[in-house]
Amino acid sequence: MKEFSVTVLGSSAAVATDDRNLTSHLINHCNSLFLIDCGEGTQFRLRELRVRTNRIKNIFISHLHGDHFFGLIGLLSTMHLMRRTEEIKVYGPPLLEDIIRLQLKASETSLSYSLIFIETQSEGEEVIYDDGRLTVSSIPLKHRIPTTGFIFREKLQPRHINKEAVDRFGVPIIFYSSLTKGMDFIADDGEIIPNGVLTNPPDIPRTYAFISDTVYNEDIVDSIMGCDLLYHESTFSHDLQHAAHDKMHSTNVQAATIAKLAGAKRLMLGHFSARYDDLSAMLSEAKKTFNETIVAEEGVAIYI
């Protein structure tokens, strides 16, 4: 099975701490790299992990609170200084392009590469990326300003050729394509060799859901149903649920409840308030509602 992983580059909310940067996730799908959000410190974490930023071709920004995108202009500028030539697509709220273009204009910077903006909307789910193997959809969240989550869904791929079987039955290579599409093979003597004998089932498609800043919101459950890994913000522990509601954020138990309702396989908590140095109590509390819960650890790749 090909790689599908998530590396947390930042897990703090609002302000960075001594050991937690601001929100950013790096997705590796079949060696294609995607960036979700770009808080301050993102490019430094990428350097620490020896990630070649030229491999990042698509950047998704959930909303325009500074802890989610203030690192973007710095990263784009560094790519320019490194003489990048390949285009970058940035997906985010409509005002994002105006903000970045103004910063480039003010610094009299003419990028060495094409920068393409794709506007997201926060009214309904929308597919915003599709490369034939993977789609990325935006879904509306409930926060103080327009905010979207992002869902990375693998597409069902063709069946796998069983090399031992096709060799045994003498199937010519020219028929391999039809086999991967589920067709049987008819030998020269008229014998029908069932497709299931000559191929193996495709890999089960995997899903990663990134739920950025949001108040507790069961409306998202249908969109993330059955996801393999759910990242859900958990700014506060549950004793501060009233503060979470007032600030339109979520608690650890609320995140765990969403994971349970959605039938997620695993939950990753993140976007922690700087008031929490030790996250063990927050994790233990969430696990009482949804046992398959982990906390975001920066620099650690989670494989899906």
Is residue 176 domain-shared with residue 38, that is, in the same domain?
A: no
Is residue 229 domain-shared with residue 290, that is, in the same domain?
A: yes
Q: How confident is the model at residue 16 (pLDDT cuts 50, 70, 90)?
A: very high
- From the list 67, 77, 63, 150, the residue with the least C-alpha distance to 107 is 77
For the stretch 82-120, pLDDT in tens is 999 999 999 999 999 999 999 999 999 999 999 999 999
Last residue of a domain, one of 168, 200, 232: 200
Domain coverage including residue 185: 160-200
Is residue 210 domain-shared with residue 245, that is, in the same domain?
A: yes
Is residue 69 domain-shared with residue 12, that is, in the same domain?
A: yes
pLDDT, greater one: 234 or 200: 234
Last residue of a domain, one of 200, 230, 256: 200
Q: How confident is the model at residue 28 (pLDDT cuts 50, 70, 90)?
A: very high
Residue 39: the pLDDT is 97
Is residue 127 domain-shared with residue 192, that is, in the same domain?
A: no
Q: How confident is the model at residue 164 (pLDDT cuts 50, 70, 90)?
A: confident
Q: How many structural domains is the chain composed of?
A: 2
Residue 2: the pLDDT is 87
pLDDT of residue 179 exceeding 80, the answer is no
Beta strands per DSSP E along the chain: 4-10, 24-29, 32-36, 56-60, 88-92, 115-119, 126-130, 134-140, 148-154, 160-161, 185-186, 192-193, 199-200, 207-211, 229-233, 266-270, 293-295, 301-303
Q: What is the CA radius of gyration of the chain?
A: 22
Is residue 32 domain-shared with residue 61, that is, in the same domain?
A: yes
For the stretch 119-146, pLDDT in tens is 999 899 999 999 999 999 999 999 999 9
Is residue 187 domain-shared with residue 299, that is, in the same domain?
A: no
CATH number at residue 133: 3.60.15.10
Backbone angles phi, psi at 125, to 5 degrees: -65, 140
pLDDT of residue 197 exceeding 80, the answer is no
3-state secondary structure of 179: helix
Is residue 33 domain-shared with residue 53, that is, in the same domain?
A: yes
Last residue of a domain, one of 149, 180, 200: 200
Which is it for strands 56-60 and 88-92: parallel, antiparallel or unpaired? parallel
Mean pLDDT of 175-195: 81
Catalytic residue numbers read 67
Is residue 150 domain-shared with residue 46, that is, in the same domain?
A: yes
